Structure formats: structure tokens, C-alpha cells
């Protein structure tokens, strides 16, 4: 008699475990789709989506507003945005008006720009490691340095403004 009760309890436990795991899978929130992410960011930031890069856990969204070009990470499970970064600020002039001589923005020259080595030192100060790659991208406001630094099994990418030396973005990768 005791054997039957033990077998019945074990069978009940096993069946309950499988039923619970299936129900929890059904009730588990589904990650956001690419179109969900696009709609969410367009509504949240009133922006124009330029690109969405999806991976298993998050989406990296590039978009523009009237103020500038931005990037933001969106966690696909929770839907929470993080690491909003202004990549490039737009300088806007009213239609039909030209800036006065005093207000004109002169295009930065190579003399105004920090050197590649200075940009590397700025990045290494924030994250010691081995410089893997350095790229310069020309922009209207002087350019950007993209610097990849390896440290252990990880890589960190810095976007540094080429005139001000300000760190605009930091991205950590496994």
C-alpha cells in the first residue's frame, strides 16, 4: 500500500512539474519584435528611425530628431530604453535667414581637431586595455573618433568628439 502512495506522489510531482513549466512558458512575456521597438521609439522620442540592430537581449536603435542623431539601447524583455546617446547634434538655422558674420560657424580644421593619439589616451584613461581599432569619421562639427579597446574577454567602443575630446558614447561588448 505504501508503495502505491509513493509512486502516486512521484507521478503527481512529475506531472505537476511539467505542467508548471509549460504554463510558465506560456505566461512568460514575449520579447519585443523589431516593429514593436520601432513603434515604441518613434512614439517615445518623436524621432525618425534610421536603423535597428537586434540581438538576443537588446536592440540598438539609431534615430534622428530635429535636435540631432541619437542611439539608444532597448531591452527586448522589459522594453526599457537605456544608454541614450547624442551622436551628432544638428545646428539649425531658420529658413531664409543666414547667420551674421559673428554667428557663422566655421568648419573645424585639422588644427582644431585633437590627434588620434590624444583620442586614444582619453579612451584608455576610462578603460585600460589594448587598442584594437581606431577610425575617424568626418562630420559637420569636426568629426568623431571610434576607438575599440580590448580588455580580457571584453571589448569597449568609445565615440569621442574630434574637436572637444568629449566622450559621446561608450558601448560594452562581450
- Whole-number Å distance between alpha carbons of 134 and 120: 8
- Give the helix, strand, coil percentages of the chain, each rounded to 5: 30, 35, 35
pTM of the prediction? 0.42
* pLDDT tens figures, 15-33: 888 878 777 666 666 788 8
Q: CB neighbours (10 Å) of residue 145? A: 24
Which class is 31-90 in CATH? alpha beta
Angle, vertex CA 56, rays to CA 50 and CA 57, nearest 5: 80
* pLDDT tens figures, 100-118: 434 444 444 555 788 899 9
- Whole-number Å distance between alpha carbons of 64 and 50: 7
Domain positions in the chain are 1-29, 31-90, 103-174
Residue tagged 506560456 (cell numbers): 26
* pLDDT tens figures, 139-152: 888 889 999 999 88
Q: Give the residue from 128, 129, 125 showing the smallest Cα distance to 160.
A: 125
- Whole-number Å distance between alpha carbons of 156 and 174: 9
- Whole-number Å distance between alpha carbons of 157 and 80: 22
Helix, strand, or coil (residue 104): coil
Specify the CATH number of the domain 103-174. 3.10.450.40
Amino acid at each position: 500500500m505504501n508503495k502505491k502512495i509513493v509512486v502516486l506522489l512521484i507521478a503527481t510531482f512529475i506531472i505537476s512539474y511539467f505542467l508548471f513549466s509549460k504554463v510558465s512558458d506560456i505566461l512568460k512575456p514575449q520579447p519585443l519584435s523589431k516593429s514593436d521597438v520601432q513603434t515604441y521609439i518613434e512614439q517615445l522620442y518623436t524621432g525618425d528611425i534610421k536603423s535597428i540592430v537586434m540581438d538576443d537581449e537588446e536592440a540598438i536603435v539609431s534615430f534622428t530628431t530635429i535636435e540631432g542623431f541619437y542611439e539608444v539601447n532597448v531591452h527586448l524583455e522589459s522594453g526599457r530604453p537605456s544608454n541614450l546617446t547624442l551622436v551628432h547634434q544638428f545646428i539649425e538655422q531658420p529658413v531664409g535667414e543666414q547667420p551674421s558674420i559673428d554667428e557663422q560657424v566655421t568648419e573645424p580644421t585639422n588644427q582644431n581637431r585633437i590627434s588620434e593619439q590624444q583620442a586614444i589616451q582619453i579612451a584608455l584613461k576610462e578603460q585600460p586595455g589594448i587598442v584594437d581599432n581606431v577610425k575617424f569619421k568626418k562630420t559637420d562639427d569636426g568629426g568623431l573618433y571610434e576607438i575599440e579597446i580590448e580588455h580580457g574577454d571584453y571589448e569597449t567602443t568609445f565615440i569621442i568628439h574630434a574637436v572637444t575630446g568629449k566622450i559621446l558614447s561608450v558601448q560594452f561588448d562581450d
